[in-house]
Structure 1
Amino acid sequence: MTGMKKGAGENPFADDSSTESKTDTAPEAEEPAPEQDDEGGSNQAEDEDEKQSRQQIQIPYKFRRDGVQDGRDRVPLFLQKETKVAERDALREFEDRFEENVSLTDLREALMKVGLQHLDETEECLEEWGYGMTFD
């Protein structure tokens, strides 16, 4: 053993004067330990992943992202003039409420999500536009 570097696979409790039979059994004795360490390590890694997931859930999207388009798909949006005016008014209203700039992209998605949660009201709007009309 002299002249060699001590490594992770070496038994730290073995004497330098150990026989071959002890050397042969030492790696076998050490094999279960790394498996146990791996299991413990994977549990620790899972715990850390869960903590990170919880932290990401707790951190609002506005602060987690790199930019306003981060994590979003681009979709075309064409608005009627009165809708565009109402959107602008809503943007100003929310900027007053939050006392900070509000991203138009964030506002649009929030309006979309609220609309998706209120399909009955959305249906009424679509009916006003002529959906569901029949000409029998």
Structure 2
Amino acid sequence: MKSGAGDDPFAEDSSEAEDTPPDADTDQDDVVSEETQSDSGSSSSSLTGPSGQAQTQSLPYKYRRDSVKQGRNQQPVFLQSETEELIEETIDRIEERFDENIYKTDVVEAMLVAGGEGTTPEAVLQRWGYGMKNR
């Protein structure tokens, strides 16, 4: 590789390309791809190491994910119009109680979990980290 402030860091030096056997590039690519895969497996670079895993797992669900879809599987659900209205009413009630916007996906899943556990969607969402706003 050529060095210099204005040079392309990915440009190959023609003398290197001629001296390097074809199999050597393949071996280097495998090492690079293995390193990339191991790096991309960690969700947070600041929480690496043995205590990093515990710190991430101790965070409520809302805060340890990067998006609302992360860690979820998509399931098609067919709902009656009355059920859709119930979901919207539940979202409004919970957003008012927690004084923050809440993803519809979280509310629907919390309603399912609450029904299975015999608790309320609010209790499930609170366990997942809703209502913990910094004040």
Q: Which has the higher contact order (CA 8 A, sep 6+)?
A: 2
Q: Select the structure that is richer in helix.
A: 1
Bigger Rg, which one:
1
Question: What TM-score do you get using the length of structure 1 for normalisation?
Answer: 0.48
TM-score, normalising length: structure 2? 0.48
